Structure 1
Amino acid sequence: MASHATRKAWRVSVVTSRSLSTFRRTSQNVLACPSALSSTIIRIPKRSLFVLPFGLDVGLAFAAMYYITALERPDKERVQKIFGHDPWSKDEVKNSEEVVHCIAHRGAALDAPENTIEAFKYCVEQNCKFVEMDVRSLRDGQLVLLHDEGLQRLTGTTINNVQCVDWDAIKDYNVAANHPNREHFKDVRLCLFEDALDYLLENKFKMIIDVKGVDQEVISGVLDAFATRPALYESAAVTCFNPYPLYLIRKTDPKIIGALSYRPYCFSAQDYDAENGPTNPRFPDSVVHRVAMRACDALHGVAWRRLARWCGVSAVLLHKDIVSPSEVEYWRGLGVRCVGWAVNRPVEKLYWRGVLRAAYLASTLLGEPAVEKQSKDKTSSDCAASSPEQMLDPEQTEQNVSSGRN
């Protein structure tokens, strides 16, 4: 009996040694029984769990996070108080005077020094009570109305980043020094954000606040402005090219009406138009950076619509050269207003008013009353002096635009 047990144990050890590689591969699935002999192995196969194909699980996770974190849009009534009646709705005929057509881009930057109180006063004179303005933060935490990072274009100084200076260092610069109409606007100063809000609210303006930068100071400053001035909730919308600060603002205060701005090639080029395409590259001396930025442009072009819906926007501000009737219809189907920038020529304004039937940002207000009068009453004597043929004449169009610059 003892010899029989020894031979059995020897056979088991031989089989085990011959299947050593198999034992190593399945060692994680082996469960040892303490009551069994040391030479006895009990193999229990491990049940494999269902695993999604590579990448699909990550995509589903991102999709779930997207819908979980997406913000809701404010009520349509509050959006209507700012952007007016939908030009495509039935109410447009009954309330045509409440339909927004023109929004003064930076306070009509071609007619008056941009982002200044003087520009807003000019808008009052031209009977335009809807303006767009840019907001940046300074080193001392104050917010100033300024589009560029520096002051070279407006003042000719060497300051290329206002975040490195305080308000006291730049408050006396004349921002009308290089303006085409500088003979009519002498000694114009920069404007603080809070001063602009007080003036605009006092004069019952509607406004679009364009947030420049992603620093916490400008985000906190915009949130504080709404908290201390409740009238802004029915008077102002906040926009940004970067969806991240817009998302932070609306997540903190969902009552704020948001809008996302977009233009093609915003990462790789500083300028874009339909005739020339992207121009003035941001990294002209680095091929690697240019290729990387073009890749970011392609990704941005695919994702920006989803990002706009993720932020719960009520409007989109698009470059005028990429807007078509189908684009306007797409956003209208989602209940989102479509606004173009910057629409300056009279023929473009007629197209936006009559064909696209959408609001637009204009850097000049010259010709706006004539265009509006023409669209309302084509048989009036005033419109006869400026017929559609004359408005569509290319030479006359260029003269009107150049008069706005000069």
Structure 2
Amino acid sequence: MYFGYTKCKCVAQSCTNILLDVNITKCGQLVILHEKTLHRLDNSLPNGSTDHKPQLSFSKINSLKFDDLKSMNIAKNHPLCEKQPNESILQFNDLMHLLDMHEKINIFLLMGSTNQQIVSNISRYFENNPERFKRIIVCSRSPKAIFQLRKQHPQFICALWLDKVTKVNLPSILLNSPFFSFLYGLLYRNIIAVLTGISAVFINKHDFNEHIGQMWRQSNIQPIVYTLNSPNEKRYFQHTLRTQYLTDSLRSEPSNFVKIKK
């Protein structure tokens, strides 16, 4: 996702909550970038390497210096590149300035790594910019990382990102068992959520239903479903399940196609 272009589109459609990914480079710089964006980057290797050009993945940012990334136009290979200006990878300081310029925007910041260095750097930014962090919700797949952040700064607003249940490294017979799904949810809602003090949870759309949503809300935790891109899916989650969701496309919002009578 390209922040400058996306910011304008989101604000225009009254969508003021934006999810961005944060990771750390080899030289210790925090960089802001949506994971899927890297798949569209020019895959040239740094330092003039003549090896076969690999597909750049988000995890490899940890092995690159910021100097290798800062000149890349991350909008170059986007399908709508002709309609948007060039975009560069943001550093964390750039995000702070953008928050100052646009008071209505809130950022869900998903940590792409859970090593101690990225946790320490985010904590340091919080100490220097406590007011700005009132509009940043730090998200992670790691309960441990959230626990470490909130142990140092209880004021942190955090959310837990749950991967699809089938990605859990267990035999399929267990993953397909309703009893396992019950225990899995019970573990996260009644134990991990309490210990980490999260305010929201991201749940895969295939693992979500009305009952699960109610149980999370009863724990005072806001469920957010990902990722919905078709108008029919969005209409169902909006008007039937009444649940917030994450989308990659604002063009497929139901309101852009038909107005539903309340």
Report TM bin, short chain: 0.7 to 0.9
Unaligned runs of 5+ residues in structure 1 are 1-113, 269-292, 380-406
Q: In structure 1, what is the equivalent of residue 234 of structure 2?
A: 349
Secondary structure in 1 aligned to 2:251? coil
Verify the 8 A CA contact 2:161 2:201 in the aligned structure 1: yes
| CA distance in structure 1 between the aligned counterparts of 2:39 and 2:250, rounded to whole angstroms | 25
How do 1:71-150 residues align onto structure 2 when only pairs under 5 Å count?
Answer: 114-148=1-35
Greater radius of gyration (CA): 1
The offset of 1:150, in angstroms, is: 9.8
Secondary structure in 1 aligned to 2:223? strand
How do 1:268-283 residues align onto structure 2 when only pairs under 5 Å count?
Answer: none
Verify the 8 A CA contact 1:318 1:340 in the aligned structure 2: yes
Q: In structure 2, what is the equivalent of residue 310 of structure 1?
A: 195
- AA paired with 1:336? I
Secondary structure in 1 aligned to 2:21? strand
1:366 aligned onto 2:242: no
Deviations 1:347-394 (A, max 9, x none): 12211221111211111111538269835xx39xxxxxxxxxxxxxxx
The offset of 1:338, in angstroms, is: 0.8
- AA paired with 2:204? H
Verify the 8 A CA contact 2:2 2:75 in the aligned structure 1: no
Where in structure 1 do 4 or more consecutive aligned residues deviate above 6 Å? none
Going from structure 1 to structure 2, the CA distance change for 1:372 and 1:255 (only over 3 Å counts) comes to farther
Q: In structure 2, what is the equivalent of residue 329 of structure 1?
A: 214
Going from structure 1 to structure 2, the CA distance change for 1:217 and 1:244 (only over 3 Å counts) comes to same
| CA distance in structure 1 between the aligned counterparts of 2:5 and 2:142, rounded to whole angstroms | 29
Verify the 8 A CA contact 2:23 2:112 in the aligned structure 1: yes
Verify the 8 A CA contact 1:262 1:319 in the aligned structure 2: yes
The offset of 1:193, in angstroms, is: 2.1
Deviations 1:35-71 (A, max 9, x none): xxxxxxxxxxxxxxxxxxxxxxxxxxxxxxxxxxxxx
The offset of 1:197, in angstroms, is: 2.7
Unaligned runs of 5+ residues in structure 2 are 45-53
Verify the 8 A CA contact 2:5 2:85 in the aligned structure 1: no
Give the RMSD, CA atoms, in angstroms. Answer: 2.8
Going from structure 1 to structure 2, the CA distance change for 1:149 and 1:120 (only over 3 Å counts) comes to closer
Q: In structure 2, what is the equivalent of residue 226 of structure 1?
A: 126
Verify the 8 A CA contact 2:31 2:91 in the aligned structure 1: yes
Deviations 1:273-326 (A, max 9, x none): xxxxxxxxxxxxxxxxxxxx3359958972433323321111111111211110
The offset of 1:342, in angstroms, is: 1.1
The offset of 1:115, in angstroms, is: 4.5
Q: In structure 1, what is the equivalent of residue 47 of structure 2?
A: none
Verify the 8 A CA contact 1:116 1:145 in the aligned structure 2: no
Going from structure 1 to structure 2, the CA distance change for 1:122 and 1:187 (only over 3 Å counts) comes to same
Verify the 8 A CA contact 1:155 1:176 in the aligned structure 2: no
The offset of 1:116, in angstroms, is: 2.9
For these two proteins, the number of residue pairs brought into alignment is 240
Secondary structure in 1 aligned to 2:82? coil
Q: In structure 1, what is the equivalent of residue 49 of structure 2?
A: none
Secondary structure in 2 aligned to 1:374? coil
Verify the 8 A CA contact 2:106 2:136 in the aligned structure 1: yes
Q: In structure 2, what is the equivalent of residue 155 of structure 1?
A: 42
Verify the 8 A CA contact 1:150 1:162 in the aligned structure 2: no
| CA distance in structure 2 between the aligned counterparts of 1:178 and 1:149, rounded to whole angstroms | 12
Query: If the length of structure 1 is used for normalisation, what is the TM-score?
Result: 0.54
Secondary structure in 1 aligned to 2:72? coil
